[in-house]
Amino acid sequence: GLGPLDMTVCILGSPTAFLPVLLEGGTRCPGAMVLCLSPAWASRVPSEASPGAWSLLLSRGVSFQAGGHSTLETFVPPRRANYVTGTFAAGDPEGGWVGELARDLDCPTGGSVPLAHRLEDPLVTRWVLASRAGLPVPPTLAFVLGPGGDLPADPVAPGVRLVRLEDPQGQESLVQEE
């Protein structure tokens, strides 16, 4: 029962991973799915509802309709996003502007650059699955230089063995022993 002016689901960045969502959303709620391909098409304004947060306003976007039809639109006045997701991959060249636009919004978001960074780290993912969720993981022996980023100081998880190396030089015997 919602129309395009009642709800705006915004996809920031590349549509590649989200094309099925955009097409189905255009069928279920024509005009509510909006693809934002450029940071120039959106702006962040202080939220009226949540102090310290931001609202995302779209001045342009590609909206999706039933049957896969899409239209490049200019929104006057700008449309407020009610839900935001996008290409948050840490190594993605678009990740910078996508992550910046989606940071600290007053609406739900489908991810963030820090979350994408953590999910792309196989060691952190295995540790979380094994220690927090109690799921079996492949036997893992990992050598980590320095503090180890998103891992706790002494991670303990079934099937995961972590060896911290202060300096890779001169630690060949430790590596062979492990």
Q: Three-state DSSP class for 130?
A: helix
Q: Look at residue 126 in the predicted model and tell me its pLDDT.
A: 84
What pTM, to 2 d.p., does this model score?
0.70
pLDDT of 5 reads: 61
User: pLDDT tens digits, residue range 25-55?
Assistant: 999 999 999 999 999 999 999 999 899 999 9
Contact 47, 54 (CB under 8 A): yes
Contact 16, 42 (CB under 8 A): no
Question: Does the pLDDT value for residue 93 go beyond 70?
Answer: no
- The average pLDDT across 129-150 equals 81
Cα 46 to Cα 36, 39, 75, 111, distances in angstroms: 20, 17, 19, 20
Segment 112-137 mean pLDDT: 80
Higher pLDDT, 27 or 154: 27
- Model pLDDT, residue 148: 62
11 neighbors 34 (Cβ within 8 angstroms): yes
Name the residue ranges covered by the structural domains of the chain.
9-111, 121-165
**DSSP letter at 81?**
P
Q: What ranges make up the beta strands (E) of 29-98?
A: 33-36, 42-46, 54-64, 70-80, 83-86
